[in-house]
Amino acid sequence: MLIDRFGRIHRSLRVSVTDRCNIRCFYCMPHERVDFLPRDQILTFEEISRVVDVALDLGIRKVRLTGGEPLVRQDLPKLVELLSRKPLLEDLALTTNGFLLPGLSQELFDAGLRRLNISLDTLRPETFHRIARRNGLQLTLQGIAKAIEVGFTNIRINAVTIRGINEDDIVPLAHFCRQHDLLLRFIEFMPLDAENNWEHLLVLSGAELRRRLEAEFGPLVPVDGIDPSQPARDFAYADGRQRVGFINSVTEPFCSACDRLRLTAEGCLRNCLFGHDEWSVREVLRAGGSDAEIAEQFRQCVQHKKPGHGIDQPDFLRPRRAMYQIGG
Ligand code: SAM
Ligand code: SF4
């Protein structure tokens, strides 16, 4: 099993399948002149599948595909099919901006995917453009509708909220998600934007969001019995119709229960979004290394995990990579 120096057992692996994206959210990517990875540096599906097999042997049970935008990776449903057939994998999920879901939902569903997180920060086209620096709100909304139509259930909506930008979307997003039976999760803005514009003042805390929602919907009731390694704290609306969650990575870090590792698109293992160290499994794979050698990279990665991300500490140093280069 993958147990670190602080007793945390690692069961989740986030797999980035690309650093490319079809939009340019300001909290993630640079506006222009993006230095994407050359294609030959990106792990093939076979390589990802082999790394996942090793991870499963080491106790990983959940895999989330992410990016960049995972659906811009050609033939992604083929990878979903490869992974969804693995008996030890209990949970396979995908995080997407939804743009390509109108065309791909059915294929993804048929390939065995059942869990989808779709990012949606606003219901206003001009605010969408301000955040994503591209138009396309309608595509995301169509993507959500298509995913529901082909049979995805328990879809989660991720919303990053930023002071002065999409504060006015909090309540409309909550109404929208209740209306369509979607679980809305608000994520605090983290210092992982490529242009280095993050500042504490821009973070709308989960506590503040909760107060605003309670003013509209009445008291939110904490939902008990949720897996403690889940970063989100979920609440039920007073009328019992749907839930809403908060991922308070900045104001209420959940590092002590973190069970996640990350594999970047070019095959580097990371033990924290905010970490500075990486262990390359691609080098091992492409040098003809054994599964035991790949497993050793996992063990090293876990052994070096720090107790927390330290965003609020004076010596906090942002990671060299931005969100799209790590995999959110
Ligand atoms: N492209 C896909 C998407 O946007 O859903 C998957 C990758 S994206 C990096 C994964 C999640 O990270 C999205 O929900 C996105 O909103 C969130 N995210 C990106 N940058 C962030 C930041 N600086 N702080 C908090 N969340 C961020
Ligand atoms: Fe693309 Fe997702 Fe980053 Fe937005 S958050 S730029 S959709 S990878």
pLDDT, mean of residues 93-101: 98
Residue 206 has pLDDT above 90, yes or no: yes
Which 3 state secondary structure label does DSSP give 87? coil
Determine how many CB atoms are found less than 10 A away from the CB of residue 154: 10
Q: What is the mean pLDDT of residues 170-175?
A: 98
Query: For atom 8 of ligand 2, which residue has the closest CA?
Result: 68
pTM across the whole model: 0.97
- Closest-CA residue to 230 (of 250, 245, 208): 245
CA distances from 122 to 44, 85, 137, 151, 161 (A): 34, 36, 8, 24, 9
pLDDT grade for 33, boundaries at 50, 70 and 90: confident
Q: Is the CB of 323 under 6 A from ligand 1?
A: yes
Q: What is the C-alpha to C-alpha distance for residues 145 and 298, in angstroms, rounded to an integer?
A: 38
**Of 263, 254, 261, which is closest to residue 1 (Cα–Cα)?**
261
Measured between alpha carbons, how far is 91 from 84 in angstroms, rounded to an integer? 9
Q: What is the pLDDT of residue 328?
A: 86
Strands 268-270 and 260-263: antiparallel
Q: Are 129 and 135 in contact (CB under 8 A)?
A: yes
Q: How confident is the model at residue 315 (pLDDT cuts 50, 70, 90)?
A: confident
Which residue's CA is the nearest one to ligand 1's atom 8?
A: 328
Kindly indicate the confidence band of residue 230, based on its pLDDT and cuts at 50, 70 and 90: confident
Q: What pLDDT does residue 172 have?
A: 98
Tokens 């403690």 appear where? 228
Confidence grade of residue 54 (pLDDT, cut at 50, 70, 90): very high
Sheet holding 91-96, edge to edge: 221-222, 233-236, 243-247, 183-188, 156-161, 115-119, 91-96, 62-66, 12-16, 260-263, 268-270, 279-280
* 12-326: CATH, from 3.20.20.150, 3.40.50.2300, 3.40.640.10, 3.20.20.70: 3.20.20.70
Nearest CA to ligand 1 atom 4: 97
187 CB within 6 A, ligand 1: yes
For residue 229, pLDDT beyond 80: no
As given in the structure block, the two tokens for residue 63 are 């895999």
Confidence of residue 231 (pLDDT cuts 50, 70, 90): confident
Given a cut of 80, is residue 226 above it in pLDDT?
Answer: no
Given a contact cutoff of 8 angstroms between Cβ atoms, the answer to whether 238 and 176 are in contact is no
> Predicted confidence band at 227 (pLDDT cuts at 50, 70, 90)?
confident
Phi-psi region of 309 (alpha: psi -120 to 50; beta: other; left: phi over 0): alpha
> Residue 80's pLDDT band (boundaries 50, 70, 90)?
very high
Q: Are 20 and 69 in contact (CB under 8 A)?
A: yes
DSSP 68-85: S-GGGSTTHHHHHHHHHT
Place of tokens 């809305």: 184
A 10 A CB-CB count for 136 gives 18
- Closest CA to ligand 2's atom 1: 21
Mean pLDDT within 231-250: 95
The per-residue pLDDT for range 111-166, each reduced to its tens digit, is: 999 999 999 999 999 999 999 999 999 999 999 999 999 999 999 999 999 999 99
Confidence of residue 228 (pLDDT cuts 50, 70, 90): confident
DSSP string over 48-69: HHHHHHHHHHTT--EEEEESS-
Task: List ligand 2's pocket residues with C-beta within 6 A.
Answer: 21, 23-25, 28-29, 67-69, 97, 323-324
pLDDT of 310 reads: 83
The pLDDT of residue 313: 82
- Tell me the CA–centroid distance for residue 291 and ligand 1, in Å: 31
Position 224 scores a pLDDT of 78
Ligand 1 pocket mutation pick from 183, 187, 248 by most atoms within 8 angstroms of CB: 187
- Model confidence at 196, pLDDT cuts 50, 70, 90, reads very high
Q: Does the Cβ of 160 fall within 6 Å of ligand 1?
A: yes
Is residue 170 classed as helix, strand or coil in its secondary structure?
Answer: helix
Q: pLDDT averaged over the chain?
A: 96
Which ligand number lies closest to the CA of residue 250? 1
What confidence tier does 81 reach under pLDDT thresholds 50, 70, 90?
very high
